[in-house]
Structure 1
């Protein structure tokens, strides 16, 4: 038998341990991210037993971040990015400044050198891409105003960190490092800044001028071959190729390169299919990202310097979030938007680790400060899902108390969960049939027109929550239609609804036979399987029972 290579051992060990501890966390009603992090601690060098290769794990995690940012770019147009620039650019700059200042203040209190306090504070100021985007995707907020602001904020932080990673050695020398190296002249520092900014500008311009035309054209040409395998390969090649080229030719981060690749591919009509093709790999490598974080964690820091770790956590969870909340409110945005942005940024991740490692390598921060950053990151990532749960409950209660929402008065209505592509079509059919409809959706922007026009009653929130379903007045409803695409989310809604009312007709959508069985087992009265219905319609059309034109688009 061949010995497992470090790559295979890391992938297998990471995924298996993540599954085991993720399942345990889910069983204990804890965020599954907690299980992934614990899996990383178990596989790390600071605990006995199996030890995975940390270097390989980090590279696998980088792949996950690349694919994740590529997926975000697919749904994020340049227009969306520019629409939030007025708040994202100054907001991110001020918030990073506040967090960096708080970190420097903590460093001053601990007697650290000025440069160490600066790098420490800067590491606490930038949020994790993976954590933020997973939270947004779970709540389907990426296409909302809140999601666009968060992503725009993230891009500004990304650009700031790209600049910081390039300039940090030079700035450290200018301020005077502990190694006593010669400080560069101000002219050299300015030249470094100008060169770095220039390369970023050239990359962005190249993507907007050339990439915007070449990437969609290539995708269309590959699609014309009829090979799904080749199409999938083309999507991955362009995503990873652009990210790699951006990093090595323009010194732009992998994340930013992948985001622009996705945004340019989003100009193609095949962007939705491209997103679906990358989803499985994105989820798998995102799991390895959290495992890699856990591997870096040294539990001894919690015993040796607990108060320093606590202070760092307070800066991340309280100080940085409070600054973001005040900034968003200062721009006249609603409290719900401000709370969402503040909660999204109440954690740190991959850029913080890169910055801390660079700081140690050039002698700007100590190993102790690096371990504090890692510990604070672990704690903040564990706490962040809990903060989102609290936020969801606050939003559900707030929307339920809103003066323009009185779903309790509704009766004899059909409840529609999900207002995406399928949900909108179902809603149109129901309205044409004269039915009264109540829509449950997490994205307020998606149903704002419905609420403003009075076409339908609207409840904002996660339909799997008992409070949200109660607001929909299921006891008087004629039927419940679950149109959300995710089978696990749909299953939670079906189960919660069935617990509230045994005789309620529940219709759900499915993408496979296994999904059909899953939803039926949880209590769905009828499950519509897309491919099955399509096959039936094609058979009827071919037999002459139905016009092929009449079935198009359904």
Structure 2
């Protein structure tokens, strides 16, 4: 574990000197020091870091919830739902169509729809943090789309499970979906009406007790969420949303920083451990085609979201490039597909697709003015605004 931390740190330092983002470098460290590449092997089995990786995802989304205030959620309600729905229709629809065009099978196409359709909450959060854009106006629709994505994710997983297992039927799928939705509603009501009670429960002048309290709450609710069929990450996000409105919110934000950064690095390192570079050449063309499709759908949905919120071409580019990444959900689907005995090409396809976008999205998000030039009304606009908004990666 110490080697994993140090390897990620060394590569990130080297990459920082030449302007590369940390996310793909953490993933590269996992690939180079994992069991699928020659040379030193720090971790033989990726499952050895499974709990630490899960904690990294929980802390990333918990931090996101702290920054995403309830007032923002209420104010952007209709626009958020519209932008999120269009994002899902374009990306999930394109993924489903692409799956059928490949001809690997109906179940495989359903998996492909989720892989291509759902953005990575963890990577999106890391990009926003690294580029210091949590306070930018266009971050509100980005976070809104993530919330809509995660709600859809809970229902999608509940419906997909019986399809892949070829058992239980539609009744069980509806039951699981209803259970997940009911739990999400309960968390939302607690976030909306329980702020005063939660504020009193969490408040303490002792930093040590405060860390133990918010960390325990985030991890516990994440675990319970998983039992109800809701992604553990969205459970942690809801806890962050609740605590972000309490009197202790500013202290929690400060105290969670080092935890978020350390375990977030392990999340991406563990992701790299699961990738076998030797499997990638066999699916190179489908991966490249899927990446081009994803870029196109994200640009279209980013332009639509920017129009809904009244933003210009540079904001549209920010939305498009930030949401382009795919990650943890795709890996969950890869595991489900392997367990169900689906086409063996799915796993290397998902690994290559996620890796390529994990590199492309942070690089593009750090230079949004390059895409903004080619968007409607963006000729020259990206150059004029770039110096005001672009943050060094």
What is the TM-score normalised by the length of structure 1? 0.64
Is 1:339 the counterpart of 2:323 in the alignment?
Answer: no
Q: Alignment partner for residue 246 of structure 1, among 212, 216, 225?
A: 225
CA pair 194-260 structure 1, distance change in 2 beyond 3 A: closer
1:364-386 C-alpha deviation (Å, 9 max, x unpaired): x3231122111111111111122
Give the structure 1 partner of residue 127 of structure 2.
135
What pairs up with 1:371-386 in 2 under 5 angstroms? 371-386=348-363
1:467-509 C-alpha deviation (Å, 9 max, x unpaired): xxxxxxxxxxxxxxxxxxxxxx9xxxxxxxxxxxxxxxxxxxx
Is 1:31 the counterpart of 2:9 in the alignment?
Answer: no
1:353-399 C-alpha deviation (Å, 9 max, x unpaired): 11221132234x32311221111111111111221232156779637
Q: Alignment partner for residue 228 of structure 1, among 191, 207, 220?
A: 207
CA pair 359-333 structure 1, distance change in 2 beyond 3 A: farther
Q: Alignment partner for residue 217 of structure 1, among 200, 207, 216?
A: 200
CA distance in structure 1 between the partners assigned to 2:269 and 2:202 by the alignment: 33
1:186-242 C-alpha deviation (Å, 9 max, x unpaired): 5454444333322322333244344x233211222x22xxx3322222232222233
Deviation at 1:262, TM superposition (A): 1.4
Give the structure 1 partner of residue 376 of structure 2.
none
CA distance in structure 2 between the partners assigned to 1:463 and 1:257 by the alignment: 30
What pairs up with 1:103-502 in 2 under 5 angstroms? 103-172=95-164, 181=166, 184=169, 186-210=170-194, 212-220=195-203, 222-223=204-205, 227-248=206-227, 250-316=228-294, 318-331=295-308, 333-334=310-311, 335-363=313-341, 365-392=342-369, 398=381, 401=384, 460-462=388-390
Determine helix, strand or coil for the equivalent of 1:144: coil
Indicate conservation of the 8 Å contact 2:27/2:272, yes or no: yes
Of Structure 1 and Structure 2, which has the larger fraction of its residues in strand?
1
What pairs up with 1:55-94 in 2 under 5 angstroms? 55-94=47-86
Indicate conservation of the 8 Å contact 2:70/2:192, yes or no: no
CA pair 295-85 structure 1, distance change in 2 beyond 3 A: same
CA distance in structure 2 between the partners assigned to 1:354 and 1:80 by the alignment: 30
CA pair 368-81 structure 1, distance change in 2 beyond 3 A: same
CA distance in structure 2 between the partners assigned to 1:389 and 1:76 by the alignment: 21
Determine helix, strand or coil for the equivalent of 1:145: coil
Deviation at 1:244, TM superposition (A): 2.5
CA distance in structure 1 between the partners assigned to 2:221 and 2:96 by the alignment: 36
Deviation at 1:156, TM superposition (A): 0.9
Indicate conservation of the 8 Å contact 1:36/1:287, yes or no: yes
Determine helix, strand or coil for the equivalent of 1:305: helix
1:108-143 C-alpha deviation (Å, 9 max, x unpaired): 333211221121121111111222112212333223
| More deviation, 128-137/21-30 | 21-30
Residues matched between the structures, number = 384
CA pair 82-355 structure 1, distance change in 2 beyond 3 A: farther
CA pair 291-348 structure 1, distance change in 2 beyond 3 A: same
Indicate conservation of the 8 Å contact 1:41/1:47, yes or no: yes
Indicate conservation of the 8 Å contact 1:104/1:114, yes or no: no
CA distance in structure 2 between the partners assigned to 1:266 and 1:103 by the alignment: 35
Determine helix, strand or coil for the equivalent of 1:460: helix
Determine helix, strand or coil for the equivalent of 1:272: helix
Indicate conservation of the 8 Å contact 2:63/2:237, yes or no: yes
Give the structure 1 partner of residue 11 of structure 2.
21
CA pair 241-361 structure 1, distance change in 2 beyond 3 A: same
Q: Please say which structure displays the higher CA radius of gyration.
A: 1
Indicate conservation of the 8 Å contact 2:372/2:381, yes or no: yes
Cα RMSD for the two superposed structures: 2.6
CA pair 86-308 structure 1, distance change in 2 beyond 3 A: same
CA pair 144-20 structure 1, distance change in 2 beyond 3 A: closer
Q: Looking at both structures, which has the greater relative contact order when contacts are Cα pairs under 8 Å and sequence separation is at least 6? A: 2
Which runs of 5 or more structure 2 residues have no equivalent in the other structure?
Answer: 374-379
CA pair 193-69 structure 1, distance change in 2 beyond 3 A: closer
Of Structure 1 and Structure 2, which has the larger fraction of its residues in helix?
2
Deviation at 1:281, TM superposition (A): 0.9
